[in-house]
Amino acid sequence: MWEEDGKVSPSPSTTSTMRPLWLLAALLALGQALPFEQKGFWDFALDDGLLMMNDEEASGAESTSGVPDLDALTPTFSSMCPFGCHCHLRVVQCSDLGLKTVPKEVSPDTTLLDLQNNDISELRKDDFKGLQHLYALVLVNNKITKIHEKAFSPLRKLQKLYISKNHLVEIPPNLPSSLVELRIHDNRIRKVPKGVFSGLRNMNCIEMGGNPLENSGFEPGAFDGLKLNYLRISEAKLTGIPKDLPETLNELHLDHNKIQAIELEDLLRYSKLYRLGLGHNQIRMIENGSLSFLPTLRELHLDNNKLSRVPAGLPDLKLLQSSQHFQPLDSRQPLQPHSTQYSPTAPHQASTFNPPPSRGPGLNFLLLMQERSL
């Protein structure tokens, strides 16, 4: 290490030692479509470089080059690093510093900016000015209540925006058209207006659970134009499956709501669903035939509801597995053919059904875990 003008830079030996480690670690994924887990600086840093190219190709977002950007994999030691932050490669980490505003002096070639766990309350018009190469922006666990309508305008290549655990009462306006993934759970959002996602043709993942959203909060056409693969609206105040969600959905998670019934038309348009999460609701009734509209369904979670029967319409349902905890589907107990009776006998008992492989594609497992009061 050496110092000049109060700044510390890595020695050449340190750089040569770390470079192979960074290149190997770049094989790990930053933002798979999974429930949000707060990440630290190194989790985001490890995603720089090649993964940006992979996400651009997978999402259909425009790539800036037909070959990997070798410059993005090469350590850069810019003199521009905000006071107190850690800067390495093209990653700037300014988390856990008690910041009240977005720091200045962020290098224009920054691709990952980590500002989580601070006290930022507002995003102003020029906070991200000049950051045209920014790929991921992490603002989790701040105190943001206000976002200027042009705050994100400079971020023409932004693909991942993590702005969960703030004090937002509305979805930010004018999100970048390049955006692929939006994590905005655990805010105070009560309304999803029509047009708020307009122009987001690359978006494939939205996590918006933990907001006080009711069914009436979704304006007709709120999701028009989106081609989402993944949507989570768990831990909200839904009493039914929201209408007019994107038909392209592969995963829909509505766990921990107040849904009471699944009616015939609720799932009619979601023929591409692979996973459906409805656990921890108040479901007493699933109308016959409502699940028959889901030919590609492989996972159905109905744990901790008020069902007394296995829902009808599941493909060739013949096998049952019961255990205190969910187990892999390789030790199964046969049921009588087409039996639909379900009777939990112990706390946390899980019943998992699997169709025989000889009948072709079908449900891989159905989780019906019910927790008894003691």
Residue 270 located in a structural domain: no
The residue range of the domain holding 177 is 1-212
CB-CB contact of 86 with 93 (8 Å):
yes
Residue 222 located in a structural domain: no
Q: Which pLDDT belongs to residue 368? A: 58
Residue 324 located in a structural domain: no
Q: In the structure, what pLDDT confidence band is assigned to residue 307 with cuts at 50, 70 and 90?
A: confident
Name the maximum alpha-carbon separation found in the chain: 78
Q: In the structure, what pLDDT confidence band is assigned to residue 80 with cuts at 50, 70 and 90?
A: confident
Mean predicted lDDT score pLDDT of the chain: 75
Q: Between these two residues, 358 and 31, which has the higher pLDDT value?
A: 31
Number of structural domains in the chain: 1
Q: Which pLDDT belongs to residue 315? A: 55
**Which CATH number fits the domain that encloses residue 28?**
3.80.10.10
- Let me know if 332 is exposed, middle or buried by CB neighbors in 10 A (0-12, 13-18, 19+): middle
Residue 99 located in a structural domain: yes
Residue 8 located in a structural domain: yes
* Rounded distance between C-alpha atoms, residue 118 and residue 25, angstroms: 27
Q: Between these two residues, 66 and 235, which has the higher pLDDT value?
A: 235
Residue 143 located in a structural domain: yes
**93-97, 163-167, 191-195, 317-321, range with the lowest pLDDT:** 317-321
Average pLDDT on 347-372 reads 45
Residue 360 located in a structural domain: no
Per-residue pLDDT at 87 exceeds 90: yes
* Rounded distance between C-alpha atoms, residue 101 and residue 145, angstroms: 12
Residue 171 located in a structural domain: yes
- Residues contacting 134, CB < 8 A, separation 6+: 110, 111, 112, 113, 128, 155, 157, 158
